[in-house]
Amino acid sequence: MSLDFLPLSPGDMDDRGWEVCDFVFVSGDAYVDHPSFAVALVSRVLEDAGYRVGIIPQPNWKDPAAYTVLGRPRLGFLVGAGNMDSMVAHYTAAKKPRSEDAYSPGGTAGLRPDRATLKYVAGIRSVYKDMPVIIGGIEASLRRFAHYDYWSGTVRRSILLDSKADILVYGMGERAIREIARRLNAGEDVHAIQDVRGTCVRTVHPGAEGVIPLPDYDRVKARDPPSLRSYGEHFMLQKQNADPGSARPLVERSDGDRWVLQNPPALPLKSAELDALYELPYARKAHPRYDAAGGIPALQEVAFSLVSSRGCFGGCSFCAITLHQGRAVMGRSRESLLREAAALTRQPGFKGYIHDVGGPTANFYGPACPRQARGSFCPDRECLYPDRCVHLKADHGAYLETLNALRNEGPPGAIKKVFIRSGIRFDYLALDTRSGKEFLETLCRYHVSGQLKVAPEHISGQVLAAMGKGIPGAYEQFKQDYAETNRRLGLKQYLIPYFISSHPGSTLEDAVELAQYLKRSRFIPDQVQDFYPTPGTLSTVMYHTGMDPRSLEPIYVPTGEREKRLQRALLQFNRPEQRSLVLEALGQAGRKDLIGSGPACLVRSRQ
């Protein structure tokens, strides 16, 4: 077996001369040794710190022996459900089972269990009762306190309590896992490791002075108005204490005398640290054991992409990045990205195209203000919503220079095209009076492959406000600027906008307004995404409580399946199969004037 990959079997350990692993990582994803996959990222961080890490990817959770394949680790088990919450990986927004899993061999569904973190920890405990178990990843991170669970329709306890793990690492866990490993290696008992930034631990007391108590689980789990209001307050306390520079410890009581203590968030990695992280010796391939199945589909999109930044100060209500990566944007150095690009050109299968240079938002390449440069951000306001923060520095200059360098300074002839496929925040672009126009022209000239996907999400003012998005009309202005720039350059390139139906705040009338806009634009989306209430987002709090937690004021929420179907149908009003639903929606909205043969009508009458 190639030593390019970390051990998956006793034979792999023998090849490395290992008798025992320091840590064994149990993962819900197949093993892809690429920095876009959490199991590789965390495992390589520990390897770089001198630890021996083995991986058990997608074990048969019904067989306790599956957790013993690499033997008893010296220091502990690490558990992650994968790059996605296991319930999101398994079910659509309509709660229907997905037929494929991009993080499994050949896209095969069903190779990880529902609520994978819980099942894996239970399996480990069944064979190694006294071993330290540390959970992390997106599933654990966003379920670290009481949380609304869309699939059961209930508020569930902290996943730390339900799993009976010892430590929960939340957010981007490189700093935390290094510190936990150091202390375990020094002989410290796992139950004594209570104060590491970026972790949650179980405790039997409410904490010391300065700890902020969240509303108790028993107080937020019901559906009566006081409980729903407490749930909104509970979320906002988490949001207001997400800043590494000012956050205080939080504590939540559950089931009488059981407590979960959240330590303040870990400081984000600085530019040089990100460089080092992404330049660790990844094989950048899926493990050979998956070749016969056709590989891992999720790798195809990122195999020849560059991660240029972390964090996002966009503040979208439906996005969990604030509670996971954080709002402070940290970018990698140009030199590191050039070195990685050169390494990509030597990878088998590279055909001259870098598919993306971006992060959560491509044109957020560096800190938005001096406070973010210190790894911090404002706990009580957003950068772009409801209006621009006075301290926000909108500047695409550094990103432009990096893109220019990637195009012009790579190995001669090796890089034919550098695309940008991560999201572009057009409202941020409009604020950049220094380099915004140059960036748009460069984007159109060099970095678009015929069409650019953007996410206006909606056009109704009240829905955009609920989403935490910018001023209505920003997308329309960007669309005009994009078209004019391409016309001037002699290019025929298109915008593909992405819209969400049935988001909290969206009434049937708002959906009709969006349909009218689509009619005027002569654009009908091929696919429509219903709002998906996933843990850790402000929008999910709205969905569950019927109120906006920022103001605790009531907000309309389309929760019935019939209304969600009507709103979704309106976005594809011209499709014959949607006709009956569109007629029903227009009737309910009191907009039968849009039925007929007039130029503004959405659907023709039967006459």
Number of domains in the chain: 2
Burial per residue of 298-312, b for 16 or more beta-carbon CB atoms within 10 angstroms, e otherwise:
bbeebbbbbbbbbbb
Instruction: Render pLDDT for 240-276 as a digit per residue (tens, 0 to 9).
Output: 999 999 999 999 999 888 999 999 999 999 999 999 9
Phi, psi for residue 159 in degrees, rounded to 5 = -65, -20
493 shares a domain with 347: yes
Same domain, 280 and 196: no
Please give the pLDDT value at position 607. Answer: 58
Q: Looking at residues 76-93, what average pLDDT do you find?
A: 97
Residue 33, domain CATH: 3.40.50.280
Share of the chain above pLDDT 70, in %: 99
Q: Quick one: 177 and 311 in the same domain?
A: no
Give the contacts of 130 (CB within 8 A, at least 6 positions apart): none
Q: Where are the beta strands (DSSP E) in 236-328?
A: 250-254, 258-262, 285-286, 305-307, 309-310
Four-point Cα dihedral 115, 79, 197, 173, nearest 10: -100
Q: Could you report how far apart the first and last alpha carbons of the chain are, in Å?
A: 71
Query: Of 459, 480, 508, which residue is a domain's last?
Result: 508
Asked whether residue 325 falls in the same domain as residue 454, the answer is yes
Q: List, for residues 478-505, the tens digit of each pLDDT value.
A: 999 999 999 999 999 999 999 999 999 9
Same domain (yes/no): 276, 148: no
| CATH number of 308's domain | 3.80.30
Domain boundary among 490, 508, 526: 508
Is the confidence at residue 6, as pLDDT, over 50? yes
Residue whose structure tokens are 């938002």 = 361
d(C-alpha 483, C-alpha 488), whole Å: 9
Gap between the Cα atoms of 158 and 156, Å rounded: 7
With beta carbons less than 8 A apart as the criterion, state whether 19 and 107 touch: no
Point out which residues pair with 327 in neighbouring strands.
Answer: none
Asked whether 439 and 363 are in contact (CB, 8 A), the reply is: yes
175 and 285 co-located in one domain: no
Among 107, 113, 165, 112, residue whose Cα is nearest residue 136: 165
Q: Which residues contact 444 (CB under 8 A, 6 or more apart)?
A: 482, 485, 486, 489, 491, 493
Task: State the pTM of this model.
Answer: 0.96
Q: Does 293 fall in a domain?
A: yes
Domain hosting 406: range is: 271-508
Q: For residue 52, give every residue at least 6 positions away whose Cβ sits within 8 Å of its Cβ, in sequence order, or none.
A: 16, 18, 20, 21, 22, 23, 74
Condensed to tens digits (0 to 9), the pLDDT of residues 545-593 reads: 999 999 999 999 999 999 999 999 999 999 999 999 999 999 999 999 9
> Is the pLDDT score of 167 beyond 50?
yes
Neighbours of 293 (CB within 10 A): 14
What confidence score (pLDDT) does residue 410 get? 62
Domain boundary among 468, 490, 508: 508
Q: What's the 3-state SS for 304-323? A: CEEECEECCCCCCCCCCHHH
Do 298 and 190 share a structural domain? no
Question: Would the pLDDT of 600 be above 60?
Answer: yes
Is residue 573 assigned to a domain?
no
Residue type, 458: H
Same domain, 151 and 287: no
Please report, for the chain, how many H helices and E strands are present, in that order: 23, 24
What is the rounded distance in angstroms from the CA atom of residue 586 to the CA atom of residue 575? 15
Residue 58 lies in a domain: yes
597 found inside a domain: no
Closest C-alpha to 297, from 29, 532, 482, 565: 29
Residue 413 predicted with pLDDT over 80: no
Q: Looking at the structure, do residues 480 and 353 belong to the same domain, yes or no? A: yes
Cα–Cα distances in angstroms (integers) from residue 239 to residues 109, 336, 419, 437, 550, in the given order: 34, 33, 34, 34, 10
355-402 confidence digits (pLDDT tens): 999 999 999 999 999 999 999 999 989 999 999 999 999 999 999 999
Residue 42 resides in a domain:
yes
What is the model's pLDDT at position 474? 86
3-state secondary structure of 135: strand
Q: Examine the domain organization and report whether 150 and 297 are in the same domain.
A: no
Collapsing DSSP to helix, strand or coil, 166 comes out as coil
Residues 403 and 321 in one domain: yes
Mean pLDDT value of segment 86-101: 96
Q: Alpha-carbon Rg of the chain, whole angstroms? A: 25
Residue 571 lies in a domain: no
* Rounded alpha-carbon distances, angstroms, from residue 78 to 67, 177, 226, 595: 12, 9, 38, 58
Residue 322 confidence (pLDDT): 85
Residue 21 has pLDDT above 50, yes or no: yes
State residue 605's pLDDT score: 83
- Provide the pLDDT for residue 1: 47
- 420 neighbors 447 (Cβ within 8 angstroms): yes
Backbone phi, psi, residue 545, to 5°: -95, -20
Cβ neighbors of 33 (< 8 A, separation 6 or more) are: 4, 5, 6, 40, 44, 282, 283, 284, 285, 286, 287
Model pLDDT for residues 203-248, shown as the tens digit of each residue: 987 767 789 999 999 999 999 999 999 999 999 999 999 999 999 9
Distances (CA, A) of 212 to 23, 168, 239, 264, 430: 33, 19, 13, 11, 39
- Claim to verify: residue 145 and residue 288 sit in the same structural domain: no
To the nearest whole number, what is the mean pLDDT of the chain? 95
Band of pLDDT at residue 198, cut at 50, 70 and 90: very high
pLDDT attached to residue 409: 74
